[in-house]
Structure 1
Amino acid sequence: MKDWITDEKSVPLNALILTGNDTHITFEKVREVLLGQQNKLNFFTVEIAQIQKDLEEMPWVYSVSIRKRWPDTLKIHVVEQSIVAIWNDNALLNRFGEIVNVAPDASVEQYVSLYGSDDQASEVLNTYLKLHQLLKVNDFSISSLSSDQRRSTSLTLNNGIVLRLGKEQKLDRIQRFLTVYPLMGKKYNVNKIDYIDLRYDTGFAVGWKKEDQLIE
């Protein structure tokens, strides 16, 4: 009886059902992982925990659940990473602020570019999300955002203008920008603005593409 239970030829796994996301994790990739257990592909002896571990080590995989269905089927459900940003030009960030070690390619060009030290990844993403919501309702979007070691934030808008926000009161400073920017457009050519430095208690500094000017 024992030999019948452990003999791969007695109760072999003959079918694989793959559900969930399949953008990056294909049937063939999962099949390759299973073939790594070539001598254990028996309904009773297949090592579910090892298969799950091997699959979850793939960078595009967020989680995996595996179930056996009698008499010969393995059902695998894959949840892929939910990408929200490009990180330091060489990796990605998921929606939890976790670094996904996948090189960016054309498929992720629509995401914002975030920069900072790896230990700040979640914090940088949270900062971006807060500023994005405030800017979005005013028809601005962020193309990139960076945070230095002092957690001082600078971002580039979709129109090319750089906003220097510093470390404190970032939302207040964005609100100040939103208040004064329409007024600037009535008096100046905003297309010539290089950056706006909002790291002042009152007022701000404007860097022009051809000249610098301070506005109080």
Structure 2
Amino acid sequence: MDGGGCLLFALSGNRLADKDRGVAGLSLGGDAVVLPRPLRRIVRFIVSLCSGRVAIPRHAGKLSLAGFYTVVALHGTVAGGHGPVVMQTITSTAGFAVEDVRVSGNRHTSEIDILQLLGLDGSTSVLSLDIAEARKAIAELPWVASVDVRKIYPATVEVVLHEREAYGIWQHGSELSIIERSGSVIAPLRDNKFAHLPLFVGRDAETAAADIEEQFARWPSIASRVKAFVRIAGRRWDIHLQNGVIVKLPEANIDAALALLARFDAEQDLLERDIAAVDLRLPDRTTIRLTPEAVERRELALEERRKMLKRTGQHT
């Protein structure tokens, strides 16, 4: 046994006449153990290392120790879930930190909301930014119909929005909401910048809004005076005009009722008179209700006429 402490094996076998011909087996206690071929090279290297025939490079110990610590650090980072943070820090330092966010197509969506959902903190890396998660988060904003988020290397993120189209205002109870043409609610009404949109009131008014507004579009002289479309019992409409007149429409054949109303207005200037309501629900009868002031004036006029007829009768 050598002074270095390495155990030397007696190598034997039919193919071991020359030590340079390879290791075939181990002789332990007189019995030869034949090694599998893949292990022979390993045993040969160990024997050579112990006998001093293999020179160990300088600083191999230091490099091995550094490698060991590196492996341990990487394992701890992955096991502790700190991999994304470390990657973000490295890539940001390398020049991939997000420096510019380009947002387009946002007429009603705040850029501040978009930046918050992107989760940028000043050191966010373009490489580590999760595009799928950012797109999913932004798509949930009220006005967003669809969104495309792209990375532009090395330090830019581009957000392109396609927003929903406001069609009208729906009043349900005391709440006011902005709706699409389909009737889907976009968002609560917060200001008066949508005051020009038609107002639809009542249960199911939002889903029937497009149909009634389309029918009125064929009668622009009446449509221009409408203040609100009020849904009655989910079956028919009352139309409130800007001057306070209420037009009661039938459940069916609305176009014929509007044609009649337009004719009365053209011939008798009906909608400009002192009336409270026009009832068009019956196809063979149109009922007009006067305002209280008009009723009072009419009664006074009738009373004056009766008096005049009475005086005329006395003189004749």
TM range (shorter): 0.7 to 0.9
Partner secondary structure for residue 44 of structure 1: coil
Alignment TM-score, normalising by the size of structure 1? 0.80
CA contact under 8 A between 1:150 and 1:167: conserved in structure 2?
A: no
Q: Which of 84, 101, 109 is matched with 2:167 structurally? A: 84
Q: How does 1:192-203 map to 2 (within 5 A)?
A: 192-203=274-285
Where structure 2 has 5 or more consecutive residues not aligned to the other structure, the ranges are 1-82, 299-316
Instruction: Describe the shift of the 1:201–1:101 C-alpha distance in structure 2 as closer, same or farther (beyond 3 A).
Output: same
- In terms of Rg, which structure is larger? 2
| One-letter amino acid of the counterpart of residue 117, structure 1 | R
Structure with the largest fraction of strand: 1
Question: 2:193 aligns to what?
Answer: 107
Q: Tell me the matched-pair count.
A: 206
TM-score by length of 2: 0.57
5+ residue gaps, structure 1, are none
SS in structure 2 at match of 1:30: helix
Q: Which residue number in structure 2 is paired with residue 146 of structure 1?
A: 230
> In structure 2, do the counterparts of structure 1 residues 189 and 112 end up closer, same or farther at CA, with 3 Å as the change threshold?
closer
Q: Quick one: structure 1 residues 56 and 169, their matched pair in 2 at CA, closer, same or farther if it must change by over 3 Å?
A: same
How far residue 93 of structure 1 moved from its aligned partner, in angstroms, is 1.0
Deviations 1:153-195 (A, max 9, x none): 111123332111121111221111101122232xx78331111
* From 79, 87, 90, the counterpart of 1:7: 87
For residues 120-174 of structure 1, the C-alpha deviation after alignment (integer angstroms, 9 at most, x for no partner) is 523223222321x123156733210022334211111233321111211112211
Q: Distance in 2 between matches of 1:52 and 1:82?
A: 20
Match of 2:214 in 1: 129
More deviation, 162-171/78-87: 78-87
Which structure is higher in RCO with an 8 Å CA cutoff and minimum separation 6? 1
Task: Give yes or no for contact 2:203–2:234 (8 Å, CA) kept in 1.
Answer: no
Cα distance in 1 between the residues matched to 2:203 and 2:164: 21
Contact conserved, 1:184 with 1:190, CA < 8 A, in 2?
no
When residues 117 and 40 of structure 1 are mapped into structure 2, their CA distance, relative to the original with a 3 A threshold, is farther
Alpha-carbon deviations, 1:96-118, whole Å to 9, x = none?
32112323422122222102325
Match of 2:141 among 35, 46, 58: 58
Alpha-carbon separation, structure 2, partners of 1:184 and 1:147: 28
Percentage of identical aligned residues: 17
After superposition, residues 127-206 of structure 1 pair within 5 angstroms as 127-131=212-216, 133-136=217-220, 140-185=224-269, 190-206=272-288
Tell me which protein shows more helix as a share of its residues: 2
RMSD between superposed Cα atoms in Å: 3.1
Give the CA deviation at 1:38.
5.0
Q: SS of the residue aligned with 1:77?
A: strand
**d(CA) in 2 for partners of 1:171, 1:53:** 45
